[in-house]
Structure 1
């Protein structure tokens, strides 16, 4: 059976994937940053992270268009640094994309629990996995069209949220106790700015996943840059709007550290029984669904690419009769479901399970960003003839900014999250042992023999 994905996606589909992968971050997860940094501290963190992502996307697009491969960062780092480089980027991306969906699935459960308090949110999360893994298996064009529709609805809903709460907005509410629970900047406020890094990353986490649909894109050298650039501008604008307006409608401390900050913020303005409130809960689910569904698409392509290259069992690279990597979709789902039901016996650093999973996913993302920017610099020197239809603007300054901020954030994450960082390193070590033991498996794969010496047109 063929292991080659079919190009069926245009610019609008890719924009839907790029924004849809991320947009749940505007609905939940970020408010944990208020809990450690306050509104003003977290605003600074968010601006720093938004700068990193903007510089990163403008640089990453050069790699994506030059090497349109389902493995995304894995393929770029492998071409730049060989097998070990490919392994590091591949496992980092895998950790990012496999750990993000259970956090989103639990948020879906929390949103629906507002309407159906008698249903266990974990069962709702499990049902979400079953439904959207099935949709991804049926076909990428169907999946991408669905992703586009729910992403558009999710964007509209965020704008509606801003419009509905605007009458109750006061900037004085937003700034009150805005420095880590205090009205004055202090050492604790500075510490909170760094501690909030993973929750600011959550605003933008996984936008790079659209690169994993590159093999399925029509004319990727043109469609991917358009999708990425419009996507990051969309997301930065929405993140700032949502955060500022949610924090200015009342006492923001009551909606920090929860999984459904937008419905709770809206309650402060329109009350519990308003039709606007019910609309936000139901339509707001589209944002969560868009990201959940999109990241399933992303992790499945990463698992598929690693299996096809022999870095994971090659059986994971088999395609279904719908030409989708069904085994990869199911494999990532098993890990996600296990994470959802693990909170009864896992307590990490006193965090909620959602916050811990978000942090773990961010560790993977930052390592992948570092490897991608290093690959960009390396390939500019080692592969100057690589076809580059899009060149990173402001090179080397723009990619240098992305690399510097990502590296500083990676170090800060370890300082503020030592236990999760240790678990992350444990995953890397276990993966590296597997990598060392499976050289023959990689050597026997057709792609392993061709990828490093073939320029993908």
Structure 2
């Protein structure tokens, strides 16, 4: 993402996009750790900081000692988690009722009704949590350097992932509350299990299965986003946007500091236990990066229409234009939910921008893929 924006807007565009993505990836595991704690509490009666710490230590250690085989294992776990979602949906369908979707008490908000209990603004404030369904799927291209045929495989992987997520998101969002009641799941930390318990009047083997495999799915997400943030920091550091120390690797070619430092920060944030607020911070970073990447796409299409494009976006500028508008709406939505949290994230973003303005933009590294691409671009413009 940052290399894409670097091509369109130069080093400033690259840095603003890269650090926005970094905020997203560094904070998302903290939110997931909170949810893992809720699932472990439900399954084993143990949750809280001990679970958060154990997961951070174990999975950062796996990344430090070699991530290749673990990625294959995570793929299998993700596939099993998808089966569990299928079991959940089949189990909830017999209990589905449209009335259950509309059982949240109507508030005093403008435009409030049984269909929109929190009014028009409620739709807007739900957007950050809707984005959470899809958060970090755009991290697929971070595997470009470890993919045999990125021109073919990355579009397939990314589009396939989005279609699977879209299908599950729609089905879970409708069938789950439709079977158990939307109000019953309003503040749930493990809504799939609680939905089954509500629908079937207590604990069942399905509930235990979905709980266990749901936990496995969260672990797979936790694992893969740790991978994503380490590779994002590695790329930014290698190019000189962040301190060079962060891109130093061990014998297994793992960037140790890029794994450990965000892990310590994430663990500290997970101690708040506020998974919903951590989602807001992660989504703030994500939506800022979406705005910048959509703008980069439009800019490159206009300024460099003949640039080699192994993959062309269907609909071109119209598609990215619509996405740009939606991303801007999503940025504002976070402020409506809890402005203090999003302002805090914006301050962190501002500190990173100041670091780039006063130091790192004067120390960018020549010879990295992004800088080489920029040099080629400059040479081509000079020829024209």
For residues 440 and 294 of structure 1, what CA distance do their matches in structure 2 show? 30
3-state DSSP of counterpart to 2:10: helix
How do 1:346-425 and structure 2 match up within 5 A? Answer: 353-425=274-346
The answer for the alignment partner of 1:165 in structure 2 is: 92
The verdict on how the C-alpha distance between 1:201 and 1:443 changes in structure 2, with shifts beyond 3 A counting, is closer
State whether residues 366 and 372 of structure 2, in contact with CA within 8 Å, keep that contact through their aligned partners in structure 1: no
Structure scoring higher RCO (CA < 8 A, sep ≥ 6) equals 1
The verdict on how the C-alpha distance between 1:273 and 1:296 changes in structure 2, with shifts beyond 3 A counting, is same
For residues 361 and 129 of structure 2, what CA distance do their matches in structure 1 show? 40
State whether residues 271 and 277 of structure 1, in contact with CA within 8 Å, keep that contact through their aligned partners in structure 2: no
3-state DSSP of counterpart to 1:407: helix
Say yes or no: does 1:282 pair with 2:226: no
For residues 180 and 144 of structure 1, what CA distance do their matches in structure 2 show? 46
Deviation track 1:56-76 (CA, whole Å, cap 9, x = no partner) reads xxxxxxxxxxxxxxxxx1111
The answer for the alignment partner of 1:99 in structure 2 is: 27
The answer for the alignment partner of 1:116 in structure 2 is: 44
For residues 53 and 168 of structure 2, what CA distance do their matches in structure 1 show? 29
The verdict on how the C-alpha distance between 1:226 and 1:125 changes in structure 2, with shifts beyond 3 A counting, is same
For residues 316 and 245 of structure 1, what CA distance do their matches in structure 2 show? 44
State whether residues 173 and 248 of structure 1, in contact with CA within 8 Å, keep that contact through their aligned partners in structure 2: yes
Q: Which one of the candidate residues 103, 125, 128 is aligned to 1:198?
A: 128
The answer for the alignment partner of 2:9 in structure 1 is: 81
For residues 186 and 239 of structure 1, what CA distance do their matches in structure 2 show? 19
Say yes or no: does 1:299 pair with 2:221: no
For residues 234 and 69 of structure 2, what CA distance do their matches in structure 1 show? 19
Return the offset for 1:186: 6.6
For residues 20 and 264 of structure 2, what CA distance do their matches in structure 1 show? 18
RMSD between aligned residues: 2.1
Return the offset for 1:454: 4.3
How do 1:108-257 and structure 2 match up within 5 A? Answer: 108-117=36-45, 119-177=46-104, 183-184=113-114, 188-257=118-187
The answer for the alignment partner of 1:320 in structure 2 is: 250
The answer for the alignment partner of 2:380 in structure 1 is: none
The verdict on how the C-alpha distance between 1:405 and 1:246 changes in structure 2, with shifts beyond 3 A counting, is same
The verdict on how the C-alpha distance between 1:166 and 1:444 changes in structure 2, with shifts beyond 3 A counting, is closer
- Unaligned stretches of 5+ in structure 1? 1-72, 344-351
Say yes or no: does 1:266 pair with 2:196: yes
Return the offset for 1:338: 1.1
For residues 383 and 215 of structure 1, what CA distance do their matches in structure 2 show? 24
The verdict on how the C-alpha distance between 1:101 and 1:440 changes in structure 2, with shifts beyond 3 A counting, is closer
The answer for the alignment partner of 2:374 in structure 1 is: 452
The answer for the alignment partner of 1:67 in structure 2 is: none
State whether residues 137 and 326 of structure 1, in contact with CA within 8 Å, keep that contact through their aligned partners in structure 2: yes
- Unaligned stretches of 5+ in structure 2? 378-384
The answer for the alignment partner of 1:49 in structure 2 is: none
Return the offset for 1:149: 0.8
The verdict on how the C-alpha distance between 1:444 and 1:186 changes in structure 2, with shifts beyond 3 A counting, is closer
State whether residues 24 and 283 of structure 2, in contact with CA within 8 Å, keep that contact through their aligned partners in structure 1: yes
